[in-house]
Amino acid sequence: MSAIELAPELAEDFERILEHLVSNAADDVSSRVVDIIRAIDVLERNPLIGRPAGSDLRELVIGRGSRGYVALYRYVDEIDTVFVLALRSQREAGYAR
């Protein structure tokens, strides 16, 4: 199984997403966060499952519609590690960084 490392900036992404969900009175906020974490955990067994995003980066599509998110990550085969770099809603224009 591949190791998964989360970039420190991911905390800001989660905070931004949570603020948006709470301010819009979204249903099941905690279950949405759990769904995102479970999807990222899939990368342990399938690190190349995400679609290519250029420059050795990949995107993991999580859910769809208003429950859709995209995790930007890099898999380094030599050390069998997935580095999750950013997270955004599918409806956002791009990654914050």
pTM score? 0.87
Inter-axis angle of helices 29-41 and 10-23, nearest 10 = 150
Which tens digits make up the pLDDT trace of 20-39?
A: 888 877 777 888 889 999 99
CA angle, 65 as apex, 60 and 70 as ends, to 5°?
20
Four-point Cα dihedral 33, 34, 39, 43, nearest 10:
110
Q: Hey, what domains does the chain have and what are their CATH numbers? A: 3-89 (3.30.2310.20)
Return the percentage of the chain with pLDDT > 90, whole number. Answer: 62
Return the percentage of the chain with pLDDT > 70, whole number. Answer: 91
The tokens describing 53, both together, are 């995003």
**CA dihedral sign, ordered 79, 81, 86, 88:** positive
The tokens describing 52, both together, are 């290519």
